[in-house]
Structure formats: structure tokens, C-alpha cells
């Protein structure tokens, strides 16, 4: 069982009603893809994008927030946590990203309904730390796994919605040539 599965299962066990979340980062790769590199399954956290369409519902859901805090307390000794919950406008995404979210079926849960961003959007999120080597390894896996092409990514690069923070814009500019190179390498291999 991956760390992401442990976190998701623990949260699900603490919920008493349906909660819909969009996981991203390494947890979403561990839960939403087959044949992931082993290191991805060792990620210690589960990052979540809070959708505007669900924000009022989630903001008012005290039971969810209590369960989220309990998850961190329960899993603290294992070094696992779920504390990075970002509004969608705090993450690099396409403007219509929510229309393309993908259900995550692992682990089986009773109340927790997990989704992940489309692979194109996951690649964009991985560009938030610039050309970070770990993130670029994840991007290479995502490109290869879903056979993502430069033709698919260029409109996303052009239209990406990102926070108006210069450091993040600089990070995107550092990551852009690296991701394009990975896309070109994959195209030559196909």
C-alpha cells in the first residue's frame, strides 16, 4: 500500500458523509496511474486542489475539517500528512481544468470521492517549482504514461492560469524549456 493510499483510506474512515476532493502532486500519480516509479509511492503527503465549484460546501463542512486534522494526528508518527489544500487559483491549471478531472478508483473508499487533474494539468502543476529535478522526473513519467504530445501541451502553456506572483512566473519560465525538451524526446521515441 502506498503512502497516498494510507492517507486516503485513513481520511475515508473518519468521514461520515460523501466528500469530493481533487488530489494532485505525487499522491495523485501514485493513486491515479499504473506502473509508477516506486519513489512516487513513498511521498509523505497528499496535496489537494479545492475547487471553486465545491468551496462553499467544503468550507461549511466542519466534519471534513475535523477529519482532516485527525488524519494528521493519526499519521504523524509515520510522518504522513494532508496539510496542503490549495484553492484552484493558487495552482497552475488550464482555465477549464475541472471539466477534465479523472476519477481515482484506488483505494476503494466509502465516503471519499477522489479525483485527479487530467495529465495535462498535472504537468502544469509540476512546473510550479521550476525545473526541480524530482518534478521533471514526474513530468517525464506523465508524458510517457499518457503519450502526451507537444501539440497537446502548447495550448496549455499558452493559456495556463497561474497566481500573479513573479516567483511562480519565473518558475514556469524555468520549467518550460525542460518540459518542451521532454516532450520532444518522447516524440522521437514514438
Residues 156-180: tens digit of each pLDDT:
999 999 999 999 999 999 999 999 9
pLDDT category at 1 given cuts 50, 70, 90 is confident
Quick one: pLDDT at residue 101?
Answer: 98
**What does pTM read for this prediction?**
0.94
- pLDDT surpassing 90 at residue 80: yes
Rg (CA), the chain: 16
Task: Determine how β-strand 102-103 pairs with β-strand 47-50.
Answer: unpaired
Cα distances (Å, whole numbers) of residue 47 to 39, 82, 181, 188: 16, 6, 27, 33
Please choose, from the candidates 74, 2, 64, the residue with its C-alpha nearest in 3D space to the C-alpha of residue 35.
2
CA angle 123, 129, 132 (to 5 degrees): 85
Number of separate domains in the chain: 1
How distant is the alpha carbon of residue 38 from its chain centre?
Answer: 17
Domain encompassing residue 82: 3-189
Amino acid at each position: 500500500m502506498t503512502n497516498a493510499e494510507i492517507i486516503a483510506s485513513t481520511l475515508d474512515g473518519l468521514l461520515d458523509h460523501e466528500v469530493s476532493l481533487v488530489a494532485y502532486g505525487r499522491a495523485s500519480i501514485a493513486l491515479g496511474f499504473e506502473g509508477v516509479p516506486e519513489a512516487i509511492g513513498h511521498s509523505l503527503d497528499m496535496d489537494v486542489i479545492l475547487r471553486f465549484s465545491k468551496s462553499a460546501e467544503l468550507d461549511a463542512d466542519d466534519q471534513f475539517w475535523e477529519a482532516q486534522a485527525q488524519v494528521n494526528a493519526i499519521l504523524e508518527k509515520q510522518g504522513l500528512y494532508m496539510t496542503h489544500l490549495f484553492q484552484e487559483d493558487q495552482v497552475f491549471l488550464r482555465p477549464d481544468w475541472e471539466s477534465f478531472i479523472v476519477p481515482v478508483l484506488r483505494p476503494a473508499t466509502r465516503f471519499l470521492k477522489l479525483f485527479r487533474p487530467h495529465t495535462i494539468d498535472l504537468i502544469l502543476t509540476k512546473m510550479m517549482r521550476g525545473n526541480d529535478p524530482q518534478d521533471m522526473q514526474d513530468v517525464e513519467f506523465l508524458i510517457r504514461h499518457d503519450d502526451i504530445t507537444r501539440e497537446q501541451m502548447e495550448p496549455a502553456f499558452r493559456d495556463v492560469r497561474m497566481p500573479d506572483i513573479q516567483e511562480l512566473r519565473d518558475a514556469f519560465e524555468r520549467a518550460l524549456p525542460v518540459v518542451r525538451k521532454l516532450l520532444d524526446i518522447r516524440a522521437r521515441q514514438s
